[in-house]
């Protein structure tokens, strides 16, 4: 998807430079003006911790990341899957289509990986481990640089923050849509807390180890 986007041409392509777009991962600090929607509690403290982590560990490295056009919303509702059978009868699943381009904007390859990991964590029975599988798939096409890999942890945490904060804010505006708006929050706070409790080093060991296992043909 991202490699295809590099070839995309359109007279209005510059409109994807959405400098203050709240869902672009580059704009995580903009969440600060919506924090009131969380009240004063442990959840808000976690968000503030991640925003500071983003400022310290991501904003200072943006110039090292490779730019691309991001889809920006690779969640399970926007990815179409087609199933088939292998020669031995095992089920094979392939991506057959992508939906919802409303959040497209200029960003970086590593943003796309982080966003996808976050949404797959929401759906997975092994939320920490799934990041390594997503990373392996992405890197089979576009290997990340060491600097980009090093930013994955704060970026995944930051995407959780975007989703959780904006859900709380949107619920205040549209309480009738709470069930839909709070889908991520059902498990998102728990996953974010787990990541912060484990720490970047421990999470990276799992992610990078799982991704590396694909090189030997034996996925974890």
Name the residues annotated as catalytic: 73
Q: Are 36 and 63 in contact (CB under 8 A)?
A: no
Query: Backbone phi, then psi, for 186, in 5-degree steps?
Result: -55, -40
Tell me the longest C-alpha to C-alpha distance in the chain. Answer: 57
Query: Backbone phi, then psi, for 199, in 5-degree steps?
Result: 90, 160
Spatial distance between the Cα atoms of 111 and 133, rounded to a whole number of angstroms: 16
Strands (E) across 53-156 are located at 67-70, 79-85, 91-98, 105-108
Distance of CA 105 to the CA centre of its chain: 14
156's CB contacts (< 8 A; 6+ apart) are: 114, 117, 118, 121, 131, 195
Structure token digits, residue 136: 């392996």
117's CB contacts (< 8 A; 6+ apart) are: 130, 131, 134, 135, 152, 156
Q: Which of 75, 209, 186 is nearest to 129 (CA)?
A: 209
């Amino acid at each position: 998807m991202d490699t295809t986007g590099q070839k995309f041409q359109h007279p209005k392509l510059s409109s994807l430079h959405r400098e203050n777009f709240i869902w672009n991962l580059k704009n995580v600090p903009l969440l600060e003006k919506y924090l009131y929607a969380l009240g004063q509690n442990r959840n808000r403290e976690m968000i503030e911790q991640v925003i500071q982590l983003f400022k310290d560990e991501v904003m200072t490295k943006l110039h090292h990341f490779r730019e691309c056009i991001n889809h920006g919303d690779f969640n399970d509702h926007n990815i179409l899957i087609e199933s088939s059978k292998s020669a031995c009868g095992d089920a094979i699943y392939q991506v057959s289509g992508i939906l919802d381009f409303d959040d497209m904007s200029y960003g970086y390859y590593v943003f796309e990986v982080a966003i996808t990991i976050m949404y797959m964590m929401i759906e997975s029975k092994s939320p920490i481990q799934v990041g390594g599988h997503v990373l392996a798939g992405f890197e089979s096409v576009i290997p990340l640089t060491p600097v980009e890999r090093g930013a994955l942890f704060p970026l995944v945490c930051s995407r959780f923050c975007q989703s959780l904060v904006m859900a709380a804010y949107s619920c205040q505006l549209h309480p009738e849509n709470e069930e839909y708006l709070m889908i991520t929050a059902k498990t998102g706070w728990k996953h974010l807390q787990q990541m912060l409790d484990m720490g970047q080093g421990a999470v990276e060991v799992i992610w990078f180890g799982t991704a590396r296992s694909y090189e030997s043909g034996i996925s974890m």
